[in-house]
Homo-oligomer: A and B are copies of this chain.
Amino acid sequence: MSPEIQLQALNLNLPPPPPKGGVYQPLVIVGSLAYLSGHGPYLPDGGMIRGRVGEDLDLAEGKEAARQTALAMLATLKKELGSLERIKRVVKLLGMVNCTPEFTEHPKVINGCSELFAQIWGEEAGVGARSAVGMGSLPGNIAVEIEGIFELA
A residues sitting closer than 8 Å to B (CB atoms) are: 21-28, 30-33, 35-38, 52, 89, 91-94, 96, 99-108, 110-111, 114-115, 118, 127-141, 145, 147, 149, 151
Contact = CB atoms under 8 A, between A and B. Distances in A.
A23 B137 contact: no
Nearest to A55: B101
* Copies of chain A in the complex: 3
Contacts of A130: 22-25, 37-38
Given A23-B130, A24-B129, A37-B131, 12 more contacts: A22-B130, A22-B132, A24-B127, A24-B128, A28-B89, A28-B129, A38-B131, A100-B136, A100-B137, A101-B137, A131-B145, A134-B136
Given A21-B107, A24-B114, A114-B24, A139 B129 contact: no
A35 B139 contact: no
